[in-house]
Amino acid sequence: MTYLRRPDMFDMCIYNDFYSYGILEVLENLLLDYVEAEGNWKEQWDVCQTIAWFLLDHSSEPMQMMDDSDRLDATIQLAGRVFLSMLALLGTKDLFTPTSQIKDFGLVMALNMKAGRSYRDDISLLQGQSQAARFDNHVLAYAKKHFVPLVGASDIDDIATACNGAVKLPVAMQTKPDPASKSVKIGGDKYDIMAMSSAERKGHSFDKKDPLGKREIGALKMVPMRA
């Protein structure tokens, strides 16, 4: 949850990019949710819906200010690849049909394409022509292949025109991790202020008092889960 990673909400000061990295951590946790839901395509689709909305929501904007643009770029590309993996999986299950249990294909696909264009044009990420950097091309290709009308985004026609929907889609297959690849840990609760010890919070608090007592922590736990 984003607000639990915002120091000024708790009268705390940690360091300039703490909040930005905290927002990125929220996105990384969503990507982990997708992996953990393997074998349950309905739950994975729910995660993909959430990621698409999150990338375009104002609550994700602080991560655009972080000093590690390469890490942000890699994470956005990963989010795009996750969505393409989802589309490939749904294709193997013949779920791109008028009677499909999924009713918002066109909306979620359009949102992902809009996110791709936004991060590319507004903050100069997703440069180059790799599949990961131009995942919106492949989303459009899936939409064309399965005759999915793109809806929801007011400028989706312009976005689609700027994309190449004729790219070749990869064949869906099971892959194994490359043993030579380097493992990178993502997600967690490093930037979750509620997960900090009382001593840590006191150390960063303006008045050197813990802003979260038992009462406050109890109240926060009752807040509906939202990014």
| Of 166, 169, 104, the residue nearest 131 (C-alpha) | 169
**Type of residue at 201:** R
Residues 12/201, Cβ–Cβ less than 8 Å:
yes
Q: What is the pLDDT of residue 146?
A: 96
Residues 52/119, Cβ–Cβ less than 8 Å:
no
d(CA 165, CA 162): 9
Q: What is the pLDDT of residue 157?
A: 94
Q: What is the pLDDT of residue 225?
A: 56
Query: What does each C-alpha distance from 162 to 156, 195, 217 come to in angstroms?
Result: 10, 44, 48
**Type of residue at 211:** P
Residue with tokens 């349950």: 40
Q: What is the pLDDT of residue 220?
A: 74
Which helix (H) or strand (E) element contains residue 78?
A: helix 69-92
pLDDT in single tens digits along all 227 residues of the chain: 788 999 998 999 999 999 999 999 999 999 999 999 999 999 999 999 999 999 999 999 999 999 999 999 999 999 999 999 999 999 999 999 989 999 999 999 999 999 999 999 988 888 888 888 899 999 999 999 999 999 998 899 999 999 999 999 977 666 666 566 667 789 999 999 989 999 999 999 999 999 988 887 777 776 665 55
| Of 76, 84, 77, the residue nearest 142 (C-alpha) | 84
Query: What does each C-alpha distance from 42 to 90, 100, 149 come to in angstroms?
Result: 10, 12, 21
Residues 56/225, Cβ–Cβ less than 8 Å:
no
205 by DSSP, 3-state: which?
strand
32 by DSSP, 3-state: which?
helix
Beta bridge partners, 205, equal 12
Question: What pTM does this model have?
Answer: 0.89
Q: What is the pLDDT of residue 40?
A: 97
Q: Whole-angstrom distance between the N-terminal and C-terminal Cα of the chain?
A: 4
Q: What is the pLDDT of residue 97?
A: 92
DSSP 101-161: S---HHHHHHHHHHHHHHHHHTT--S-SSSTTTTHHHHHHHHHHHTTPPP-S-TTHHHHHH
Q: What is the pLDDT of residue 182?
A: 67
